[in-house]
Chains A and B, each alone.
Chain A
Amino acid sequence: MTDAPSNLGVTPRGAKPRKRLTPTNIMLYGTLFVASVYYLLPLYVMLVTSLKGMPEIRLGNVFAPPVEVTFEPWVKAWAQACTGINCDGLSRGFWNSVQILVPSVVISIAIASINGYALSLWKFKGSEVFFTILIFGAFIPYQVMIYPIVILLREAGEVLSAVTGTKIRLMGSIWGLVIVHTIFGMPILTLLFRNYFASVPEELFKAARVDGAGFWQIYFQIMLPMALPIFVVAIILQVTGIWNDFLFGVIFTKPDTYPMTVQLNNIVNSVQGVKEYNVNMAATMLTGLVPLIIYFASGKLFVRGIAAGAVKG
């Protein structure tokens, strides 16, 4: 018997003993700790500042916890902060954002999932070319398309007005922005759904055809219930993407219909009067709350869905 020196006198048996304090572990947990401090410290400063009154902020102790906790900045940010002549706070931007978000998410995911389903299972002549063109769209910086889209929306509004006989404006309205978000979500969402449906066993689809199910029946009764994880991924992607969007919001809407991000910018960057840091911090956190909640509520599903969609291409 030639036991290793450290094992002398002990018969190795069962689970191998592991040391906690190894150089590897110190490095690993040290790095993780530094990284989380790096990201959490600004959040801490924001939270602390938003709960202080202005006199306390002026003392300059950025990291100090509030001596007197006040929720006034939050109330002010939500209901009273001024942008231009409007002084009803972020609440209006919030409801605008909701009105933009809900139809954009629903319409874009509905269309993209059917797109992906058709492109992966009902291949037609030229379907690959169609898909390539669609994906190509994801690689064009969308800044170059802004001006053409402005014109397209304006003209489309004119045409619609002429056809229906009533005045319809797409440019500068919430619906114009919904259309833009739907279109720009299409490449990445279609890719996501196509790859997910491509990983569904083809025999399942064949069995459904033998069972006499058509295009919509297979989609609604067989594919849709199987695709819930990828729907969650798509919803998260779209909600965070659309909620955080600033550029399209500022271009395609008017001050009355500005989404929350644009309004936040206008509050924080207003040049008149005193800079109310506490209100600014509260407003910023309010704006970031929706994506955060979505993420915390569905983080696990998100990771699972991303993995499921990414396996096969």
Chain B
Amino acid sequence: MTNVTVKDLTLDFGAVRVLDKLNIDIQEGEFLVLLGASGCGKSTLLNCIAGLLDISDGEIHIGGRNVTWEEPSERGIGMVFQSYALYPQMSVEGNLSFGLKNARVPKPEIAKRVARAAEILQIEPLLKRKPAALSGGQRQRVAIGRALVRDVDVFLFDEPLSNLDAKLRADLRVELKLLHQKLDNTMIYVTHDQVEAMTLADRIAIMRGGVVQQIASPSEVYDRPSNKYVAGFIGSPTINFFEGSITDGGREFLSADLHFPLTGYEATQGALTARPAWLGIRPEAVITGTDVAQQPFTADITVELVEPMGSDTLIYTTLAGTPFRFRMSGKASVAAGDTLKIGFDPAQGSLFDKTTEKRL
């Protein structure tokens, strides 16, 4: 069953079109992540769904109801903000119950729901404190609690972890995932952090310039990006691109003087034909060591720079005239200037048309 539907959503700020005829269907209980660089319209889209921005055209349905003209409080949503947005002069308890008091929920019911939210989020000892006396992680928990007590169908998160330090962010990320497993609510989550997107999402919607580029499961987005922008945006370190052309019959990709065999490539738009194109190879698809000889493509490279990261090591080099990065085990002992034999299967990479940049 569909829970949130965005139909032909258009938003203009004066003469600027921020969102253009955007369509998204979100299933009940789904965790959808809106991912994109800053200014891509992802937060704007969330604000439109929440009803905090007046839209120019289109419809928004939540829980089977057309809520396009309804107030944020009537839409059955709870929202968590990046800056927590806790009411500074109210205690944690006051923050949690403010929305319920506004909705004239009876007092015993308020107490019950606050107690339940506090238990789920483990903030019971903090209920009497003011937000100023809480740490960043505790504040964000209270902010989540404020959405939780409202007993809504849909949770909206606007970069909720961006203000926290790296370790706390990782902890709360896990807690959020557990919370979603426990509550099974629909969640829409805006972030620019691809790790959050990959780990949390059932589906990721990658946005650019107010347009959804691809909406698919994390593995699909990662392995089969629908265009060159998505391929470059997802993945750290970034995917390697080779500029070149597909030869007649689609058996090989030519870049500089190198031949990349394409046998076994799963084309999305019919068989490959000769045309200028980009080949994208993920840094972790590269193999070194004993199994290299079995790879369809092999080359000898000179190591230019080594970045040891503990768990693994990044090697920077040049291949077919373009900079090339790949990942080795953290145990590898490599130094700049060494020569290495590497190999990979180009058919496991991604091919994009040179002009449209769409996946082939």
**A306 to B179 Cα, complex, angstroms:** 44
**A212 to B79 Cα, complex, angstroms:** 12
Asked if A203 CB lies within 8 Å of chain B CBs, one says yes
Contacts of B73 in A (CB 8 A): 209-213
**A204 to B52 Cα, complex, angstroms:** 12
Q: How many residues of chain A have a CB within 8 Å of chain B?
A: 16
Q: With both chains docked as a complex, state the minimum distance between the C-beta of B75 and any C-beta of chain A, in angstroms.
A: 9
**A203 to B47 Cα, complex, angstroms:** 11
Residue in A210, A212, A217 whose CB lies within 8 Å of B50: A210
Asked if B222 CB lies within 8 Å of chain A CBs, one says no
Q: With both chains docked as a complex, state the minimum distance between the C-beta of A199 and any C-beta of chain B, in angstroms.
A: 13
State whether A212 touches B146 (Cβ < 8 A): no
State whether A222 touches B78 (Cβ < 8 A): no
Q: A222-B87, A226-B89 are in contact. Are A207 and B81 (CB under 8 A)?
A: yes
Q: A211-B146, A212-B73 are in contact. Are A206 and B85 (CB under 8 A)?
A: yes
Contacts of B83 in A (CB 8 A): 201, 203-204
Q: How many residues of chain B have a CB within 8 Å of chain A?
A: 25
State whether B85 touches A225 (Cβ < 8 A): no
State whether B81 touches A217 (Cβ < 8 A): no
State whether A212 touches B78 (Cβ < 8 A): no
A–B Cβ pairs within 8 angstroms, 28 of them: A203-B81, A203-B82, A203-B83, A203-B85, A206-B47, A206-B50, A206-B52, A206-B72, A206-B85, A207-B87, A207-B146, A208-B87, A208-B98, A209-B71, A210-B52, A210-B77, A210-B78, A210-B79, A211-B73, A211-B150, A212-B71, A212-B73, A212-B99, A212-B103, A213-B98, A221-B87, A222-B87, A226-B88
**A107 to B158 Cα, complex, angstroms:** 40
**A211 to B83 Cα, complex, angstroms:** 16
State whether B88 touches A207 (Cβ < 8 A): no
| Chain A, interface SS category | helix
Asked if B102 CB lies within 8 Å of chain A CBs, one says yes
Known: A203-B81, A207-B87, A208-B98. 7 other contacts (CB 8 A): A206-B50, A207-B85, A207-B146, A210-B72, A211-B150, A213-B102, A221-B87
Q: A201-B83, A204-B85, A222-B87 are in contact. Are A212 and B102 (CB under 8 A)?
A: yes
Q: In chain A between 194 and 241, which residues have their CB closer than 8 angstroms to a CB of chain B? A: 201, 203-204, 206-213, 217, 221-222, 225-226
Contacts of B81 in A (CB 8 A): 203, 206-207
Q: With both chains docked as a complex, state the minimum distance between the C-beta of B101 and any C-beta of chain A, in angstroms.
A: 9
Q: With both chains docked as a complex, state the minimum distance between the C-beta of B71 and any C-beta of chain A, in angstroms.
A: 7
| Highest count of chain B CB atoms <10 Å: which of A206, A207, A208 | A207
| Highest count of chain B CB atoms <10 Å: which of A206, A209, A211, A222 | A211
Q: With both chains docked as a complex, state the minimum distance between the C-beta of A44 and any C-beta of chain B, in angstroms.
A: 45
Task: In the A-B complex, list the 10 residue pairs whose CB atoms are closest, starting with the nearest.
Answer: A212-B73, A211-B99, A203-B85, A212-B102, A207-B85, A225-B89, A203-B81, A210-B72, A204-B85, A210-B79
Q: With both chains docked as a complex, state the minimum distance between the C-beta of B358 and any C-beta of chain A, in angstroms.
A: 37
State whether A204 touches B87 (Cβ < 8 A): yes
Contacts of A208 in B (CB 8 A): 87, 98
**A225 to B98 Cα, complex, angstroms:** 15
Contacts of A204 in B (CB 8 A): 83, 85, 87
State whether B102 touches A209 (Cβ < 8 A): no
Contacts of A209 in B (CB 8 A): 52, 71-73
